Structure 1
C-alpha cells in the first residue's frame, strides 16, 4: 500500500529552530514526491502502450514505474528515520515519551506499535505519545491523534488525551490511564486536562473498566539504559520493518 504523500505540518522538527534539520527533512520528502510523480507518469504511459497493443513497451514502462516506486519507499524511509532520530534524541524527550512529529500517518502507526510492544516486553507501565495539536496541518486537521487513538483501541489499551490534544498518555499494562507529572519534553511541567478513554479489544469488545479506587502508581522509573538501548533498537527495527509502498 502506498503511503499518502501528505505533509502533516509546516514544522517536522518539534524543538528549537533548526533550519538545517528542516532542510534535510524537506529534501528527502521532496525527493520522494518527485519519484512518485515519475512513477505515476510511467504507469500512465504503460497503460496507454498496453491499450495500443504494444505489450513489450507497456511492460518496460511498468518496470520503470516500479523502480521509481522503490525510490519513493527509500526516500520516505530515510525521511521518517531522520526526523524520528532528531525529534527523539536524548534530552529532547523523556525516556517514557515518543515524539511522532514529521511522520506520515502510516509511519507513525508502525513506529508507535513497535514502541508499545517493545515497552510492554520490558515491563514499562506507560507511554507518552507526542502527536501535536494540528496547528500547522492543512486546515488545522489533526491526523496523528485519531490514528494513535485508533491503534490504542485496536490493542485494547486505555489512554488519556490531553485537553489541548497535543499529547496522549497510554497505559501499557492495564488499569486507568493516569497521566505522568511531566510534559514529555525533557521534563517540562505537565498541563492538566487529560480525558480518559478505555481501549477496545480487537473485534469491538469493550474492556471492562477498572473498579479500583486506589490506583496503582504508574510513575515507575524507566531503566537507566533507555537512551543507550531502546532508541537504537527501534531504529534498527525500522530499517528491517520498513513497509513496501508498491
Structure 2
C-alpha cells in the first residue's frame, strides 16, 4: 500500500515531526519484529533437523524462514514509507525529516536526497534527525550516523545552533559519490556488511535534473527490492520540484 496519495495531500499548517509514535507505524514495526523472531525460531529448528539427519524437514523449515524474513522486510519497508511520507508532507523544500527511520534506511534516503539536491544546485539541506528522545536509553543514533556519512563524502555539516535535532549540510560545490544516486535499497542494505573504509572515488557534479510528470510520481512499485526506492524517489522528486519552481 502506498501512502503518497493519502498523506502527501494533507499538508498541515503546523509541523508535527512525531509520526513515529503513530499507531500505524508502531503496528508495522511490531509486525516486522514478530516476523523476525519467528524467522529466527524457524532457522534454529531447521538447523536442529539438519543435525539429526532430517534434511527434508530442514529444507522445509529453511524455506519457511526465508518467507518470514521477506515478510519482516516488507513490514519494515511499509513502516519506513509511512513515517517518511507523513513526516515530510509539511517539510520545507530545503528540509528532509528522517524521524522514525532506522539508521540504514535514513542513510540511504539521505544519499538520494543529497544527490538530487546537488543536481538541482541547492546550497544547503536541513536534515531533521531528532534529539534521540525516542531512541533506546535516550541515545541518539541518527545524528552520529548522518554526520559520519557526511564525513565519508567530505560534506561540510554542522548542528543547527537553534535546534540540536537538525543537521545542516553545506552543498556549495559539493561532489558526492555516484553510487548515492544509483544504488537501490536492497543493494545498499547488503553492502553495509562490507562497508568500505573510504568513499568511492567516482563523483558527480551539479547537473540539471530531469523531472517526471506528477502523475508518474504517484505510481508505486510493489516489488520488495525496489519498493522503498520507488516511494522515496516519488517524494524526493516532489520536494525537488518545489525547489526548482522556486528558483
- Using the size of structure 1 for normalisation, the TM-score is 0.64
What is the distance in 1 between the residues matched to 2:98 and 2:71? 23
For the 8 Å contact 1:111–1:238, the answer to whether it is kept is no
1:170-218 deviation digits (Å, cap 9, x = unpaired): 012338xxxxxxxxxxxxxxxxxxxxxxxxxx738xxxxxxxxxxxxxx
Measure, in 2, the Cα distance between the counterparts of 1:57 and 1:16: 47
In structure 1, the residue matched to 2:172 is 173
1:18 deviation in Å? 7.2
User: Cα distance, 1:16 vs. partner?
Assistant: 7.2
Residue 207 of structure 2 corresponds to which residue in structure 1? none
Q: Is the 8 A contact 2:50 2:58 kept in 1?
A: yes
1:17 and 1:100 mapped to 2: Cα distance?
A: 11
**Distance in structure 1 (CA, Å) of the matches to 2:140 and 2:149:** 15
Residues 131 and 240 of structure 1: CA distance in aligned 2, closer, same or farther (over 3 Å): closer
Give the whole-Å Cα distance in 2 for the aligned partners of 1:142 and 1:16. 16
Q: Greater helix percent: which structure?
A: 2
TM superposition shift of 1:82: 0.6
SS of 1:168's equivalent in the other structure is strand
Compute the displacement of 1:41 (Å): 0.8
Task: Please give the secondary structure, in 2, of the residue aligned with 1:79.
Answer: helix
The 1:143/1:35 distance shift into structure 2, 3 A limit, reads same
Question: 1:131 aligns to what?
Answer: 129
Instruction: Assess if the C-alpha contact under 8 Å between 1:42 and 1:61 holds in 2.
Output: yes
Contact 1:132-1:167 within 8 A present in 2 as well: yes
Structure-1 residue corresponding to 2:85: 85
List 4+ stretches of structure 1 deviating above 3 A.
16-19, 235-238
Please provide the CA RMSD for this pair. 3.0
* 3-state secondary structure, aligned to 1:68: helix
- CA distance in 1 between counterparts of 2:17 and 2:157 reads 28
Larger radius of gyration: 1
d(CA) in 1 for partners of 2:226 and 2:83?
13
Hey, what does 1:44 align to over in structure 2? 44
Q: What do the CA deviations read for 1:99-152 (whole angstroms, capped 9, x no partner)?
A: 000001101011111111111111111110000011222211010001100111
Aligned twin of 2:55: 55
1:158 deviates by 0.5
| Superposition deviation, residue 34 in structure 1 | 1.2
- State how far apart, in whole Å, the 2-side matches of 1:18 and 1:167 are: 17
Choose the corresponding residue for 1:142, options 140, 143, 155: 140
Change over 3 Å in CA distance of 1:18–1:146 after alignment to 2: closer
Runs of at least 5 residues in structure 1 that lack an aligned partner in the other structure: 1-13, 176-201, 205-225
Q: Tell me how far 1:17 sits from its aligned partner.
A: 7.3
Match of 1:15 in 2: 16
Deviation for aligned residue 1:28: 0.7
Partner of 1:101: 99
